[in-house]
């Protein structure tokens, strides 16, 4: 099994198979617009701008499960990300990332890369780094700044 075995709904409504990202290095992030970590959108976009041509895709999954910090509609979320932070990387629909109703993708990610609280996702902006074959390489905590991932992203892009 790999990330490529899953599908998710884009924020614009269409279903997308993650197999379309086969051959790319992925950074999958659960996001929120009203969180102390929200400025990471800017840093994520900087990573995307720097490494996209070399094969990095960042996939943003808004989530309202942590303190209700993603209350807006999908149109509002998309507009906020684009206008406030210039986000151009793929954004997906609001997604449950923890608990019994978590999206199967996040159940898989959490199993493959447990964190400090085991499989549970701690908060917004938890990051999962995925290699070109769709395998989870590592989980990063919400407080880990996207720029701190550059060395590992570079290494995987060169594989």
pLDDT in tens, 121-136: 889 999 999 999 999 9
Tell me the average pLDDT of the chain.
Answer: 94
Q: Are 70 and 80 in contact (CB under 8 A)?
A: no
Where along the chain do its domains lie? 3-21+46-56+65-158
3-state DSSP percent of the chain in helix, strand and coil, to 5: 35, 20, 45
Of residues 35, 91, 129, 136, which has the active-site annotation? 35
- What is the C-alpha to C-alpha distance for residues 3 and 26, in angstroms, rounded to an integer? 9
63 is catalytic: no
Confidence band for 116, pLDDT divided at 50, 70 and 90? low
What top-level class would CATH report for the domain 3-21+46-56+65-158? alpha beta
Burial of 9 (0-12, 13-18, 19+ CB in 10 A): middle
pLDDT in tens, 138-150: 999 999 999 999 9
pLDDT at residue 39, as a whole number: 95
**Residue written as token pair 């590592």:** 138
Please give the order of strands across the beta sheet that includes 25-31.
56-62, 25-31, 127-130, 136-140
């Amino acid at each position: 099994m790999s990330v490529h075995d899953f599908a998710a709904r884009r924020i614009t409504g269409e279903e997308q198979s993650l197999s379309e990202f086969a051959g790319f290095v992925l950074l999958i992030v659960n996001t929120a617009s009203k969180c102390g970590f929200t400025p990471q959108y800017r840093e994520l976009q900087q990573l995307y701008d720097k490494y996209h041509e070399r094969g990095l895709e960042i996939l943003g999954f808004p989530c309202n499960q942590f303190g209700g910090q993603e209350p807006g509609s999908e149109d509002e979320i998309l507009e906020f990300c684009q206008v406030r932070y210039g986000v151009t990387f793929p954004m997906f629909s609001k997604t449950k990332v923890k608990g019994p109703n978590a999206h199967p993708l996040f159940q898989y990610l959490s199993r493959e890369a447990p964190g400090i609280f085991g499989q549970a996702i701690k908060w917004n902006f938890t990051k999962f780094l995925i290699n070109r074959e769709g395998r989870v390489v590592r989980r990063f905590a919400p407080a880990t700044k996207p720029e701190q991932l550059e060395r590992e992203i570079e290494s995987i892009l060169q594989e």
